[in-house]
Structure 1
Amino acid sequence: MLAMAGAMAAFIANDTLVKYVSQTLPASELIFLRGVFSIVLLTAVAGAMGALRQLPQLAERKVVLRAGFDAFATLVYLSSLFHLPIANATAINMATPLILTLVAVVALRERVSPGRWLAIAAGFSGVLLVVQPSGAAFNGWAVLCLAGTLLHAARDFTTRLIDVRVPSILITLSTAVAVTLLAGAWGLGHTWQAVNAAQLGLLAAAGVLLSIGYFLLTVSMRAGEMSVVAPFRYSGLLVALVLGYLVWGDVPNVLASLGIVLLVGAGIAVLHRPRVPARTPADAAAD
């Protein structure tokens, strides 16, 4: 749960930097450059951890599938983010816990109590109260953002299926490589612009934050029960509120403040609600 919260903080900070740079650089170019910084950093970290000798494991089908989901999710989500208010895009992306909970029930046979369903729904309601998305903003780009959310959910579910012997740092590296290659291919049809030192600095910082977020997200999805870990994505909203205040001077209104209380309360409720054991063949026979 702490890893998920940390990942969300890193991702929101990364989104802020990338959205800012997108005002002066094409999307494909900035995603590619950010990816290069991430690959360099992750390769160095993997080498220091002694994980590079296991590099052939990146060719495993599930690792490749996860990297593919993440690469397309990144391009789809960021493309929509550049055309939507960050609050609206964040609200749409916060539907991921609900999708993951459904996947956990259907595919992993995790049993989710009515109370946990209620807490997750309350958390999502709190998100909507905080961001207060306007109807006018939900256009074609919002639909694209929802597609990115579905891809993110597929990525997180696939993470659970990867053999535990594959180091998380290598899974993180595979994602960075896939995103960078896809962005580079996308950029072949666009004219690339000269990059100044300030833009490079912001993209380098975004690359570090993205790498941290990737790694922590992988750790959280491999170690925790999906229906419990997923709602802690909501913690990223608190980071977004802080960054909004520090960068743009945004202050939550009454509805937003109510949403924050509801959001935090729902997270605490999920954390303290006892886990419902999965059904066993014996249970089924008893029925």
Structure 2
Amino acid sequence: MLLFLSWRRKFGSHDFCPHYSASAKMSHGCKFHLDCIQSNFRSIYVYRLCCRTAPTPQRSSWLMPKKLQDPTAKAVENLPQWPSFGRLAMTCDGVFKPITGSFGALPRNARGAIWVIIAGLFFTVMTALIKMIGDTIPVVQILFFRQIVMTCTVMPVLVLGFPGSLKTNFLKLHLARVMFAVVGMTCGFTALVNLPLAEATALGFAKSLFVAIFAVLLLREVAGPRRWFAVVIGFVGILIMTQPGGGGFNIYSLLAIAGAASAAAVMVIIRKISQFERPVTILSYQSILVGLIMIPPTLVYWVQPSLYEWLVMAAIGVLSVFGQLANIQGFKEGNASAVAPMDYTRLVFAAMIGFLLFGEIPEWTTAIGAGLVIATSLYTVRAEARAGESAL
């Protein structure tokens, strides 16, 4: 930057501008644009020299190498208007570009499906790690350190957007979303620790059924008789898995269902406030408030972790981050209606990992109930996708 300023003083501000002329000297001048794209994993600074009323000249100079001129400038101009969203997209591209290049010839939906499957594997391994240390470390403590790791990864976005990212007219909705998120994670992870991994995962898929119900009740969406029939069949599958009145029913099954309902409430609230709020605002309130809420219970139930448990908790946070990034990449590559069903491969991973690590063999009731829940969830996803396409 200092080198540029000294060069400008020596040669003048218009010597290098092809759009400058003596007659136009009074009408416009040149200015120096700094387009900064920052992400969690890398920072790219692209220096552009252009005129106020003319496009950037497409020629190389010693100020900007050829490899940074055309592609990066075009990418910057095509980014969404919200800088943080653009940084998140650039983060996904930067992290996964070496891998995506190897199967770039595949159809977009196929690439998206692969990324969603990879995300499902990350999330399933994360839940298995929670189950491994959940007997000795309280769930609230695990969630607290998981949130710390996730907040650290998005800290550059939060810092650059502060304090404007906290300006909102929907504070109550943000608070409600955060509270549902805390309740959902606490209930869901407690169920993971105490239930077979496959059963807890299958009960978590009931989230799609609750989303269909909450969307009608809270968002005034219209649902036809077929969708209501699918919801009823899905809850029949839940009853088969939990076996109320039988030996398979316990309080942890209820916690798993409560966690799914809370997660559905979070999704519905996000669907509502995303129409008015910037993504950086939603992300900021989640990162800050969830961590603050988890501090008191963590201090009350604190258990000093061993070195092994510290490493496992760090791995839980890292897997959460990479799972989210892979999920974003998957839905970015393909259509939601095509890639969303691949999320149900988590049940296969959960059954395999549960058998290999914990010696768990899924019961026939879990298999039948999970099949009904997955089938009805797929139907609701397809129905929402068709409704969205018809609305466009």
TM over 0.5: yes
Q: Is 2:215 the partner of 1:108?
A: no
- Write out aligned runs for 1:18-33 (5 A): 18-33=130-145
Q: 1:244 aligns with which of 326, 332, 354?
A: 354
* Counterpart for residue 263 of structure 2: 152
Alpha-carbon distance in 2 for matches of 1:228, 1:107: 27
Q: Is 2:308 the partner of 1:198?
A: yes
Equivalent AA in structure 2 for residue 163 of structure 1: S
* Counterpart for residue 317 of structure 2: 207
RMSD of the TM alignment (CA)? 4.4
Task: Work out whether residues 205 and 374 of structure 2, in 8 Å CA contact, stay in contact via their aligned partners in 1.
Answer: no
Deviations 1:43-78 (A, max 9, x none): 2xxx2xx56422332453233432232122212332
* Counterpart for residue 55 of structure 1: 162
Task: Report the TM-score when normalising by structure 1.
Answer: 0.69
Aligned residues: 270
Deviations 1:164-212 (A, max 9, x none): 55236x644643443333332102223431x233212211111122234
Please report how far the alpha carbon of residue 104 of structure 1 lies from its aligned counterpart in structure 2 after TM superposition: 2.2
Larger relative strand fraction: 2
Alpha-carbon distance in 2 for matches of 1:59, 1:279: 34
* Counterpart for residue 36 of structure 1: 148
Task: Work out whether residues 111 and 277 of structure 1, in 8 Å CA contact, stay in contact via their aligned partners in 2.
Answer: no
Deviations 1:67-122 (A, max 9, x none): 23212221233234333333443343222111111122333344444445555666
Alpha-carbon distance in 2 for matches of 1:83, 1:207: 21
In structure 1, the gaps of 5 or more residues are 281-287
Please report how far the alpha carbon of residue 246 of structure 1 lies from its aligned counterpart in structure 2 after TM superposition: 4.0
Alpha-carbon distance in 2 for matches of 1:218, 1:174: 20
Task: Work out whether residues 101 and 226 of structure 1, in 8 Å CA contact, stay in contact via their aligned partners in 2.
Answer: no
Equivalent AA in structure 1 for residue 258 of structure 2: A
* Counterpart for residue 290 of structure 2: 179
Please report how far the alpha carbon of residue 163 of structure 1 lies from its aligned counterpart in structure 2 after TM superposition: 3.5
Alpha-carbon distance in 2 for matches of 1:73, 1:267: 19
What is the percent sequence identity of the aligned residues?
A: 26
Task: Report the TM-score when normalising by structure 2.
Answer: 0.54
* Counterpart for residue 162 of structure 1: 273
Q: 1:11 aligns with which of 108, 118, 123?
A: 123
Equivalent AA in structure 2 for residue 54 of structure 1: G
* Counterpart for residue 67 of structure 2: none
Q: Say which one has the larger Rg.
A: 2
Q: 1:94 aligns with which of 205, 208, 214?
A: 205
What secondary structure sits across from 1:17 in the alignment?
Answer: helix
What secondary structure sits across from 2:348 in the alignment?
Answer: helix
* Counterpart for residue 72 of structure 1: 183
Please report how far the alpha carbon of residue 18 of structure 1 lies from its aligned counterpart in structure 2 after TM superposition: 1.0
Alpha-carbon distance in 2 for matches of 1:113, 1:40: 44
**Residues 263, 29 of structure 1: CA spacing in aligned structure 2 closer, same or farther, 3 A cutoff?**
closer
Please report how far the alpha carbon of residue 154 of structure 1 lies from its aligned counterpart in structure 2 after TM superposition: 1.2
Deviations 1:17-48 (A, max 9, x none): 111111222333322222222222232xxx2x
Larger relative helix fraction: 1
Alpha-carbon distance in 2 for matches of 1:4, 1:172: 21
Equivalent AA in structure 1 for residue 386 of structure 2: R
Task: Work out whether residues 172 and 218 of structure 1, in 8 Å CA contact, stay in contact via their aligned partners in 2.
Answer: no
Alpha-carbon distance in 2 for matches of 1:153, 1:30: 22
In structure 2, the gaps of 5 or more residues are 1-111
Alpha-carbon distance in 2 for matches of 1:41, 1:23: 28
What secondary structure sits across from 1:12 in the alignment?
Answer: helix
Alpha-carbon distance in 1 for matches of 2:336, 2:214: 9
Task: Work out whether residues 12 and 236 of structure 1, in 8 Å CA contact, stay in contact via their aligned partners in 2.
Answer: yes
**Residues 58, 205 of structure 1: CA spacing in aligned structure 2 closer, same or farther, 3 A cutoff?**
farther
